[in-house]
Amino acid sequence: MPARPAAKKPAARKNKAETARPHHDEGPAHEHHAAHHGHGHDQRHDDACDPGCGHDHERVRSLVVFSPAGVVAKAVTARRALKRLKALGFDASLDADALSKYQRFAGEDDARLAALHRVARGAPDVALAARGGYGVMRLLDRIDWPLIAGSVERGTAWVGYSDVTAFQMAALAHNAAGPASAPHGTTAGLWAGPMACGDFGNDELPDGGDDITQACFVEAMTGQLEAVGYRTEAGFDGLDTGGRLWGGNLSILQALLGTPHFPKIRNGVLFLEDVNEHPYRIERALLQLQQAGVLDQQKAILLGAFTDYSKSPLDKGYTIKSAIEHLRGLTRTPILTGLPFGHVPTKLSLPLGRKVNVAVQGRDVFVMW
């Protein structure tokens, strides 16, 4: 679904929902191109914020691409991403060790840890992960969380998904994510969103990535995004709830359970996605969260994309939908599908740790903050 600009900043929750409303003729809920976000990309400052809001949406944002996890296989991908990010208006640069290589990692653990701390000390407007893969879990016990918290206080937005979920959830657990409530236009904190190589440096797409993904990211990083909308399955009309938004990659979240890096969030809005995991593995991970009491403690669960797995001849009709239906029979928490997020071209930018409202009108879901 193409993005549709808003006329003015919504004054209340109902108006926010109208601003983020998806079109109704764009197909089923599982089509992730149905993303829709809250402000037009060419909108003037006085249309996006209240007069005198104090936010300089036209200011050039500094952005550093860093590599906390897997190796960047081709340097040209990162350089292509930098070029695209500069074209989108960012003062973009590569961290000194962003292209380092050690086995499957973007440098040895000490080097990646030092890079993370270096970015935090520099406190750019945006700290954008180059890619995911694997490697952040190795660093969690040694990360200087007060330093990360300080970077957020100075205005840094930490952005990524996939393996970066480990960093984001640990930051929440260690009170390094910033406040749950922030004034409109605040960009500092944690954002589940695109990453440099796959979403801005992709050589298979003309502009290095999906246009909705990139536009949503720009709006988020310039303080103009305040609501997103998408289509879900029927049966949730009238749902109106909210809480602190958290989550990300399901496998990573499952791996953090029982560690000091797992955030203990009650009455939250949990969102999940994954890749290369068969539906029975997805069900097993969700069952672990349910049996640990996590799912029942939430106000809503938003499911994104679960992609790129191989079907088995043993499935006999068992699908991801089967797994979700089983979970719905076990938890009192509503589970909504169709969130445009995950290892897919079109993904939203979502403020982790921020209080959000989730409202459903018909099959339209609105997430507002």
Catalytic residues: 162, 273, 343
User: Among candidates 344, 162, 180, which has minimal Cα distance to 247?
Assistant: 162
Other CB atoms closer than 10 Å to residue 165's CB: what's the count? Answer: 26
Distance CA 352, CA 269 (A): 10
Strand partners, 247: 271
- CA 238 and chain centroid, separation: 25
Find, among 292, 290, 274, the residue nearest to 282 by Cα. Answer: 274
> Roughly how many angstroms between the first and final C-alpha of the chain, as a whole number?
21
Rounded distance between C-alpha atoms, residue 25 and residue 36, angstroms: 13
Helix (H) or strand (E) holding 31: none
Helix residue spans in 88-226 (DSSP H):
109-122, 145-153, 165-173, 196-200, 211-221
Measured distance CA(200)–CA(206) in Å, rounded: 10
Instruction: Report how far residue 76's alpha carbon sits from residue 188's, in angstroms, rounded to the nearest whole number.
Output: 29
In whole angstroms, what is the distance from residue 360 CA to residue 22 CA? 12
Measured distance CA(97)–CA(90) in Å, rounded: 20
Cα separation, 23 vs 312, whole angstroms = 36
DSSP string, 207-243: TSS-HHHHHHHHHHHTT---EEEEE--SS-TT-EEEE
| Pick from 114, 122, 120: nearest CA to 158 | 120
